Structure 1
Amino acid sequence: MSKSIKIVKVLAASGVGSFFFDDQAAIKAGAARDGAAYLGEAVTPGYAHVREPSESVSVMLVLSDGYVAVGDCASVQYSGVGGREPRFHARQLAQQIEQDLGPRLLDLDIRRFRDAAAQAEAWISESIASRRAAAYGVSQALLNATAHAAGHHVMARVIKDEWALSDPLAAVPIYAQSGDDRHANVDKMILKGVPILPHGLINTLELVGPEGAELERYVRWIVARIKQLRTQPDYRPRIHLDVYGMVGALVQGSPDRTADILQRVEAAAGPFPLTIEHPLDAGSRDAQIKDLARLRQVLRARRSQVKIVADEWANTAEDINLFAVNQSADLIQVKTPDLGSIHNTIDAILDCHRHGVGPVLGGTCAETELSARATVHIGIATRVAQMLAKPGMGFDEGYTIVLNEMNRALRLDAYLDSAAA
């Protein structure tokens, strides 16, 4: 590890994300879908329209040996709601990173990522309003810089070493999302042997149907396609559906009645294990913790094997800790942009492990290929329960980015171990 490598310049370039920023509050209030757009007025601060192109900022740390370490600032699709930071504007954020933060980053010692990321996050909190988005991208670039300074360029190795993780790097199951194309993308997932599918984007009451009839019908169709299209008889993917709180909304938030519907969907899944993400939305963090815990207790009392994923209201490391401590879910989605600096994501994942809760390394369709590749290294170092294929809503692109980065990192890690032996 070279002591002479330093940051000599910080650059930032505005860009786009892989999907959109959507004003969820306006959509829930009745903004109508019009093709790829939404009609109506925005209601959440920071939005001029209900749907706006997602944005990103590439952070480039120019090092003294000429290497440029990179990371991308990004935010989630539904920025500004559910306790989340308001949406950012890329040109403004890029200017702030270069002019306000850049000079301070020149003093960082990049040999220790964890320390550097924490210090950078503190400086960001003092000077930048979109602190989580900024810290997300800056920390990725710092991790890249530390891996370069170490001479091996495997970011997962830095995480493993600095958090003193004893297990070797390992592949983790990838969870794919279909977007609105809920049928053709399922076929693609089955043909490619994806272990966890399809997300489904079940974000309206119509997609759930009376007493869950439409959701049950969709799951029966998925099961039929798996049996028809699988090329290996032992291919048994987990069916994971994100229902955006719609099941609970259908039954006025009742955990018991939500459980009734989930059990019918579980029966439709037959031999394939079922996971339901965000089955209900209780309107606040504490109420969400309480109602999800109740739902989980009801399901277990009925001997249901449905797994529940906490999503909304589990945004920060503190939130995730409370969900885990209270055993409110079988799994918790750790939404990487919402946690800001990626050292917080690592801490949150390890906290889930300590409490026997499965961490889902998530994120958003609205981020970039660069941020997706960086978070892959977190997943294989911390051995998450599953890792989201991202970014975008098209399946193929996100799956390719995440799977290939995972395989590259693991192959290089194995080579470095053999070369050192």
Structure 2
Amino acid sequence: MRITNVAFAPGHAAFYFDDQAAIKAGAKQDGFMYRGQPDTLGFEAVRQGGEAVTILLQLENGLWAQGDCAAVQYSGAAGRDPLFTAEKFIPLLEQSLKPVLMGLDVATFRPNAMRFDQLDIAGAPLHTAVRYGVSQALLDASALASRRQKYEVICDEWGLPVNAHPLELFGQSGDDRYNAVDKMIMRGVAALPHGLINNIPQKLGRTGGKLSEYVTWLAQRIITQRSDVDYEPKLHIDVYGTIGNIFDNDVVKMADYLCDLEKRATPFELYIEGPGDAGSKDGQITLLGNLCVALKAKGSRVKIVADEWCNTLTDVVDFVDARCCDMVQIKTPDLGSIHNTVDAVLYCKKNGVEAYQGGTCNETDISARACLHAAFAARPDRVLVKPGMGFDEGMTIVANEMSRIMTTLKAKEAAHVDQPLQTV
């Protein structure tokens, strides 16, 4: 089955591009906007509307496959690719990508995904957002051409068994970190609330006091509001390096502070994402590794999650091999082609490091559903509810897609359609 037509549609992402450097430097919020000048190259404002581009591939059978190019909220930060806008990239896609896609045989996904992930245009690789979008479209095309679901394509090509059990979902609160927690408790998500602790004076506190108070509230809120006493979600909070900022990346002081948060989080398990930012990949591996050692020396069970400077599949492998963290966020748009996400999850699992298949609020419904199929095949320990910062919208997209997958899987098995799928 070959591609007979290619088109590119500009669209909206579900959140906004934020200049992380400017926000960390103290840019003040004014309503939903930020005051001040941007610090990161390519930004026209500290916060600006997120954009996406849908890649549409028409097949010989007349069906259209689709995938969405999308980039993370904090584009251009910590070694990531720069800002992605439709106006800038669609002409490039028309000129350079469309001719390569035309006539392509989509019978298999993985070789095609690898080819476009490594494709050079004018001596440079494609933007990660483009590699992300084209891989989703190629996965959809292979599924449509073979009358399989996308997760089935991945399971078949990677030799993975189909696991019919639900995945553990992780809710993202955005700045509405109190009301969103109540929503997450009602929905029974496995991990919460993310928290978006990306500013010291407003969210962390100059000595960490504001986050300490929040963790105390969070644990008590779950206890008092849960309808099932057996509901014990994991607490996962992303602090964007700000704890390191207030303690000058002194791992002993950071560990002391995290031990206090751990007590406040009782009886719930605590994960802290991005506790510090060392400013480079090698520095980050060293910083996180030393922090883990300091925590273990204090008898702490706080789990450290790598995010900043862990952008590519190679980065994930290096962080895992260094044993510098308990969990890695596999930030799907930053890895480019979605086959890298599958490989990253499997590498983490093989080597005893927890895999968190994340991404960004600044994605789309199409990319979120494609990622859910990848996760259903590779089975990470945690899957981000996305896109958007409102929680409800992402929960509808991700949880409902998972429900549809499980329901159709059971229906196919019950009806003995074609060949019964192996389940575990």
Contact 2:23 2:198 in 1 (8 A): no
1:15 aligns with 2:11: yes
Among 168, 172, 175, the residue aligned to 2:167: 172
Among 115, 134, 140, the residue aligned to 1:119: 115
1:196 aligns with 2:191: yes
Identity of aligned residues (%): 47
Using the TM superposition, give the Cα deviation of residue 121 of structure 1 relative to its aligned residue in structure 2, in angstroms.
Answer: 2.5
Distance 1:27 1:269 in 2: 27
Distance 1:129 1:95 in 2: 16
**3-state SS, counterpart of residue 218 of structure 1:** helix
Aligned pairs for 1:58-77 within 5 A = 58-77=54-73
Contact 1:101 1:124 in 2 (8 A): no
Give the root-mean-square deviation of aligned CA atoms. 1.5
Amino acid at match of 1:235: Y
Deviations along 1:217-250, one digit per CA (max 9) or x if unpaired, are: 1111111211121111111111111111111111
Aligned pairs for 1:207-222 within 5 A = 207-222=203-218
Distance 1:371 1:167 in 2: 21
Using the TM superposition, give the Cα deviation of residue 149 of structure 1 relative to its aligned residue in structure 2, in angstroms.
Answer: 1.4
**3-state SS, counterpart of residue 62 of structure 1:** strand
1:305 aligns with 2:305: no
Aligned pairs for 1:176-325 within 5 A = 176-206=171-201, 207-325=203-321
| Count of paired positions | 416
Contact 1:240 1:274 in 2 (8 A): yes
Deviations along 1:290-318, one digit per CA (max 9) or x if unpaired, are: 11011111112222111110000000111
Distance 2:11 2:75 in 1: 17
Using the TM superposition, give the Cα deviation of residue 104 of structure 1 relative to its aligned residue in structure 2, in angstroms.
Answer: 1.2
Q: In the alignment, which residue of structure 1 is the partner of 2:22?
A: 26
1:94 aligns with 2:109: no
Distance 2:112 2:58 in 1: 16
Amino acid at match of 2:131: A
1:155 aligns with 2:150: yes
Distance 1:296 1:169 in 2: 34
Using the TM superposition, give the Cα deviation of residue 415 of structure 1 relative to its aligned residue in structure 2, in angstroms.
Answer: 2.6
Deviations along 1:75-107, one digit per CA (max 9) or x if unpaired, are: 001101100000111133223223321121123
Q: Which moved more, 1:5-14 or 1:212-221?
A: 212-221
Using the TM superposition, give the Cα deviation of residue 407 of structure 1 relative to its aligned residue in structure 2, in angstroms.
Answer: 1.2
Distance 1:359 1:63 in 2: 35
1:37 aligns with 2:33: yes
- Change in CA separation of 1:291 and 1:61 when aligned onto 2, cut-off 3 Å: same
Distance 1:61 1:368 in 2: 18
Distance 2:34 2:412 in 1: 50
Using the TM superposition, give the Cα deviation of residue 151 of structure 1 relative to its aligned residue in structure 2, in angstroms.
Answer: 1.1
Q: Which moved more, 1:25-34 or 1:258-267?
A: 25-34
Q: Which moved more, 1:194-203 or 1:405-414?
A: 405-414
**3-state SS, counterpart of residue 119 of structure 2:** helix
Among 81, 85, 93, the residue aligned to 1:85: 81
1:402 aligns with 2:402: no
TM-score by length of 2: 0.95
Distance 2:80 2:248 in 1: 24
Using the TM superposition, give the Cα deviation of residue 196 of structure 1 relative to its aligned residue in structure 2, in angstroms.
Answer: 0.4
List structure 1 segments (4+ residues) > 4 angstroms apart after TM superposition. 124-130
Q: In the alignment, which residue of structure 2 is the partner of 1:333?
A: 329
- Change in CA separation of 1:112 and 1:327 when aligned onto 2, cut-off 3 Å: same
Amino acid at match of 1:238: K
Distance 2:124 2:86 in 1: 12
Using the TM superposition, give the Cα deviation of residue 180 of structure 1 relative to its aligned residue in structure 2, in angstroms.
Answer: 0.5
TM-score by length of 1: 0.95
Which runs of 5 or more structure 2 residues have no equivalent in the other structure?
none
